Structure 1
């Protein structure tokens, strides 16, 4: 097998649609893999769509057509030789032409394409072209044929197999990319090639013996005897393929296999697996990957409540501390392995052990899963079907099944891949979002979730669990047991954000909460980089263009007003919104973790953003950490302390018992102790303890000036007795001492009165600065040292009121 990349020499030009004259005039150099947006950006022909109101200025892209062109030179095929043109990904509605003749038309960015060129090659340069037509217009025309189906947004994203959030989402831009978004190459081969290799690993109940099953499929050019040799470590097995046979498998037992564990439960050893395809003694094709030996399942045992939903890895129940993952950049082709690694590390650093690849994006890059394998991050993988009804008729049905088959095989080796999920909110939508009258009997996707995907996985990947949809109550008719019933399966909690308050979480005890969250703007530096100074205003058109949620700012302000004064001044409002997101995150995560083992999963919406936007992300579109990330890190820590009603809650998600003495105080803001006790704490490994506290601790003398504080092993929990707008905070409760330190500065903050949620918003001084902690509570006389990594030469700036923030200062802010 000889593989030759075809990434050089491409140009792209407009060939249809409302393209501005200055852009339509001539071709520009094209980067492959890439998209038209990135090529025109590189050529200086369009403004950055992430900045200001540029997104709105680029809506003409939606109905444009583009032609990628290059010239290749390749030797004509020899006798018995195959030459294939392989596109790993085309985004999306494409017509491929070779030497002036059509090779094929595509309409699915989630799969690859292969064209046989053996009878088309000739001496000399040969033109190769790919025309991309409007995916929007394709979808509009197709739905006229198959019937329009419900969806939450105007564009019919559910009528074309393109990344759904390409068409805009409540956190993402509406850019509708087009281009050769994955590698393209020529493959020359003789006799046969490895069409598919599917390694599946499990671990026996003894947790010592690994099982590797390797399925091989070949494409033949000759009807001869072949052998596929499989090697894992020192173990070798052969799969003989007699003339005419195109598939085979082997199973290898690996005694004393190194065991792969999720982060926080053990190590992540990866083992090389190689497959060599031989024709006699000649090696004609090969395949390499890494696997990890582990068993994984979901315990859905019925109980007196309903039924459990607990991940079990290597026999160990796992409390999932997860984050939802959306595309890390809307312009997907700008993502590198380094960017994936940095983003995933931010999840690991926040103590997460799972990422859910959400169904409105893509099957992610191999780099994503490789890094998750290495870091011990479990992956929940949605099939890319989200928030809409999907036709079960052609041509969509064949495309959805083809992409699923290809990607299940591609992702099979990864030990991090823990669960396949039918789609996002589609079953819920069918029951609750008034779809049924609109459908009028049209198909909506049920066959995929309940028949097609389970059958495909039973054939291709029986080693992993399958969930029909998030949320859903598996095993129950959704018309009888609601898909978002908190007693079964998975739940999404969006009533809190949309209509209630973050304290609304206390009304439900889900078995597993796979979506919940609270919004906040991006960090200050990211706002300043993406908006003009005059647009730093809640109501400016540019700011609102970067707030995609329906009524988003109203919900932000309503949420703030339940707890804090809503500042009129934008910079103070920005801090209040970020602080409220952090508190909402802490509250919801603490509620879920504190009710284990009834609840065994928390997947926050969301880790990341794909551009600069106000959203539910804890890391903004520039990769900067919001205050909510620090709240999540504390909430997802292996050991966590909190209060619930009149009790102390201690969560111990470590392999060792947690024992010690908790000092619990009801203190005044002036530092005086009103009541105090020592609580003997004893929490078994992977357990939760709830300790009732006496009325002397939980009944304040003055609700406006007292705080309940618990301390053990450097962990602290605090509980106030009134909302912030009623508390008698001292707005000037802090002093700061700033000194040079390795890599930047240390900022030692001392409290003269109770100070809540102290933060150093270091990016306001230096956009590259990172602080090690945030949201610290101090009693009078206590101090805390923050460490800021920075190259700034202005240390005093880190102690200014705009940078050294707390809840106390907001108490003095003027209401809106």
Structure 2
């Protein structure tokens, strides 16, 4: 015990300066290989001039750098993408570039310096101070690199790094197929860049130093890939004192010195030190497992809607026998345990967190930005939007990437479970016959060509993200398994050894996930559906992909559609060329009940009504049959990495459309709703506790907003269930005989606080919204005030003598320019205010300094107005 205390106090007194890590994210320059004929040995010398080189964006791609230097137009605007040369047509040399960066760094004594690259696409040769760093060309987009560069550092500390970066060997022909002609999948890269049904081709196929580059200085030892596993036995509740949880840890240690080193690997948690004695021979690298630690009364991590998401941080340190700190590696984790079981009633996989079954309400995610322009702020905003939609899971589609640690950090923060695919997709990897593909199915079935590289990359990426509590499931691929000599090593050896705590699905719509009793592919459909179908048609019990629409409002369309192309699509007619290029899905007869669109602005407004109703009904229908028909559903898709017009709850510029708010409403953890088949008022309780002594209230209003009937009943709702209460069909028969009506549902507690509220607009018997088309113009009184930094409170009132103010949108704008402030997180939007009613809402947004701000309000029968902020 005495020696233990001496070591503890030695550690407490050590200044943790042994490790220094910083990112090389500015001051880069680049030049095309077709314009630069000097070799890497010369270019990596500080004395070599770089005349005529462009400033380079790192992390970033060649195309991003060209765009930032105004060498190409914005490929996301209009049809500009057609003006940019495609790598398949030019040959790889056109997008092969040198990237050069100078930095200052020295090492003395036992200090070691490491160069770490988190992602290069696709090949790279690395030089430092006139010497080759990687003796073999690096290959593979999804693979980290680490090099000990201590011996290559310049004596004066002034160093120059040079990388030659090449595109994928097989960029593929962008011939309009899913992944073009499919050959891009021969390499370990992102096949979506050759084009898909939701995106046009990325011309350089995302060639570049696309992820972060670090320089790290350590002592003689380097800690790598720490691993934290949390085991939470039993069935838990979010509140109250918790039984202990088990913390199991390990870490890799590399001894870079030419001598044996002894010491302790250790960390402290809740005031206690956990340690293991270690001895490493010269040059040795080993995995060290520390003793298990029992964490008393742990703060448990729960998915969104079920509880809080607290995180712990520990620092692994290695201290040698003399008490000298050699290295330190910090890890953030959450305490939770995720498990699955088969639900015999639904015939689908049922997922549990901390012993409690979780009804999955998910969204499919492609990638944050199609040109890989990632940022912590964007990741945080996008994941927060998913939290704002009341979702609890994000699935990462297999045609893109293993998402970055910054994405997972946001998911940890907001309580989003993650379903992570590996890099396979049925479209490129041979699931179907396809005349647009160059190779036959059996050939494509063996993509990528280098299976050993895939397994190496899989092991590396597993280590990169496995500590995140949000990471819930691994999946072999999108709609298809990897080849057998990848699948079985992955599921039987690599994952059990490197993770061992998460369920692995062979592919995204496998029978192991959801029994495919309907035939077909086991997912979809991908078109606009009659809202009633979500309640009446029993689809796949755990659907990995279902959904479609997502056209933004007029402000969104203006960001990427030229004024001359602002033509509203009409039922049965070909859309404008720009709309088609941006993958517009026809709304056709779904718009018509609201009246033929007069122009693009009118079309966009009516599209929002369709959007809202579509996604509210989707989640309401699935939730109404939770644990009976379904164990969950995952929407295709909830975000777009470029300016497409389908499958998005917010646009590329982070501006929400009505999909987001309809989904937010329908996905609420405690939600009152109306079954459109029989007008039965139904309540869904996703929570883990019984909701007692509540009033169910249904109010029916005519189109003028006059109350015609009100029905009330008291009830209680069991945990994790849906419950039918009473029908309102008789009242509807009387009210909708002419032009339609409104149905306002409320769930009230004993203090008459509204726990859930939901308003439906009902059509006339012929299915048309005649009443909406003839509404009088409304006027709202709007006031707002600052509630804190980047926070506003808005109050909207409707005069008692006025008409219904229907389907209103609130936006925060720059008063001088009229441009929206984005992202903006509104507590609600696209809401209706009855005569004499009011609506209070909050807005959170990035602080704007002295920029003058106003509130813009417009609606179905409300003209757009700007209101100053008090």
Deviations 1:69-123 (A, max 9, x none): 2456666x88977654332211223233442646332332222112354565565
Instruction: From 284, 295, 303, give the equivalent of 2:337.
Output: 295
Instruction: From 192, 198, 202, give the equivalent of 1:171.
Output: 198
Instruction: From 188, 198, 201, give the equivalent of 2:227.
Output: 198
User: 1:595, CA displacement in angstroms?
Assistant: 0.7
- 1:629-648 to structure 2, matched below 5 A, reads 629-644=660-675, 645-646=677-678, 647-648=680-681
CA distance in 2, matches of 1:794, 1:218: 55
CA contact (8 A) 1:82 1:118 kept: yes
User: 1:370, CA displacement in angstroms?
Assistant: 1.8
CA contact (8 A) 1:89 1:113 kept: yes
CA contact (8 A) 2:779 2:862 kept: no
CA distance in 2, matches of 1:89, 1:445: 24
In the alignment, is residue 414 of structure 1 matched against residue 488 of structure 2? Answer: no
Give secondary structure in 2 for the equivalent of 1:103: coil
In the alignment, is residue 322 of structure 1 matched against residue 362 of structure 2? Answer: yes
Instruction: From 317, 320, 326, give the equivalent of 1:279.
Output: 320
CA distance in 1, matches of 2:108, 2:782: 73
Which residue of 2 is the match for residue 46 of structure 1?
72
CA contact (8 A) 1:535 1:543 kept: yes
Instruction: From 293, 296, 305, give the equivalent of 1:252.
Output: 293
Which residue of 2 is the match for residue 760 of structure 1?
809
Deviations 1:485-520 (A, max 9, x none): 69xxx95322544xx645443312433233222313
Which residue of 2 is the match for residue 133 of structure 1?
166
Which structure dedicates a bigger proportion of its chain to helix? 1
User: 1:421, CA displacement in angstroms?
Assistant: 2.1
Instruction: From 182, 189, 198, give the equivalent of 1:162.
Output: 189
Q: Give TM-score, length-normalised by structure 1.
A: 0.83
CA distance in 1, matches of 2:567, 2:621: 34
Which residue of 2 is the match for residue 435 of structure 1?
none
In the alignment, is residue 737 of structure 1 matched against residue 783 of structure 2? Answer: no
Q: Give TM-score, length-normalised by structure 2.
A: 0.78
Deviates more, 1:389-398 or 1:110-119: 389-398
- Residues 1:536 and 1:225: Cα distance change in structure 2 (over 3 Å): same
In the alignment, is residue 15 of structure 1 matched against residue 33 of structure 2? Answer: yes
Which residue of 2 is the match for residue 309 of structure 1?
349
CA contact (8 A) 1:496 1:504 kept: no
Cα-Cα RMSD: 3.9
Give secondary structure in 2 for the equivalent of 1:530: coil
In the alignment, is residue 725 of structure 1 matched against residue 793 of structure 2? Answer: no
- 1:251-650 to structure 2, matched below 5 A, reads 251-281=292-322, 282-301=324-343, 303-306=344-347, 308-333=348-373, 335-387=374-426, 388-389=428-429, 392=446, 395-426=449-480, 445-449=483-487, 452-474=490-512, 482=516, 492-497=523-528, 501-505=530-534, 506-538=536-568, 544-545=577-578, 547=580, 552-553=584-585, 555-561=586-592, 563-598=593-628, 599-644=630-675, 645-646=677-678, 647-650=680-683
Deviations 1:783-808 (A, max 9, x none): 34476969888889747957569xxx
Which residue of 2 is the match for residue 430 of structure 1?
none
CA distance in 1, matches of 2:711, 2:798: 27
Instruction: From 129, 132, 138, give the equivalent of 1:106.
Output: 138
Deviates more, 1:735-744 or 1:362-371: 735-744
CA distance in 2, matches of 1:31, 1:367: 19
Runs of at least 5 residues in structure 2 that lack an aligned partner in the other structure: 1-17, 36-49, 236-241, 430-443, 749-753, 787-791, 846-850, 866-870
- Residues 1:313 and 1:772: Cα distance change in structure 2 (over 3 Å): closer
CA contact (8 A) 2:582 2:644 kept: no
CA distance in 1, matches of 2:767, 2:734: 15
Instruction: From 224, 227, 247, give the equivalent of 2:264.
Output: 227
Which residue of 2 is the match for residue 209 of structure 1?
244
Deviates more, 1:522-531 or 1:219-228: 219-228
- Residues 1:566 and 1:517: Cα distance change in structure 2 (over 3 Å): farther
Deviations 1:680-717 (A, max 9, x none): 43312322102353763464575443447353234134
CA contact (8 A) 1:379 1:418 kept: yes
CA distance in 2, matches of 1:796, 1:311: 42
CA contact (8 A) 2:505 2:513 kept: no
CA contact (8 A) 1:666 1:706 kept: no
Give secondary structure in 2 for the equivalent of 1:637: coil
User: 1:347, CA displacement in angstroms?
Assistant: 2.0
User: 1:190, CA displacement in angstroms?
Assistant: 5.9
In the alignment, is residue 651 of structure 1 matched against residue 679 of structure 2? Answer: no
Give secondary structure in 2 for the equivalent of 1:493: coil
- Residues 1:527 and 1:247: Cα distance change in structure 2 (over 3 Å): same
CA distance in 1, matches of 2:172, 2:854: 56
Which residue of 2 is the match for residue 809 of structure 1?
none
CA contact (8 A) 1:471 1:484 kept: no
Give secondary structure in 2 for the equivalent of 1:510: coil
CA contact (8 A) 2:121 2:166 kept: no
User: 1:269, CA displacement in angstroms?
Assistant: 2.3
- Residues 1:630 and 1:482: Cα distance change in structure 2 (over 3 Å): closer
CA contact (8 A) 1:298 1:310 kept: yes
- Residues 1:504 and 1:26: Cα distance change in structure 2 (over 3 Å): farther
User: 1:671, CA displacement in angstroms?
Assistant: 5.9
Give secondary structure in 2 for the equivalent of 1:274: strand
Which residue of 1 is the match for residue 730 of structure 2?
696
Give secondary structure in 1 for the equivalent of 2:302: coil
CA distance in 2, matches of 1:270, 1:510: 35
- Residues 1:543 and 1:523: Cα distance change in structure 2 (over 3 Å): farther
Deviates more, 1:122-131 or 1:27-36: 122-131
Runs of at least 5 residues in structure 1 that lack an aligned partner in the other structure: 18-23, 428-443, 806-816
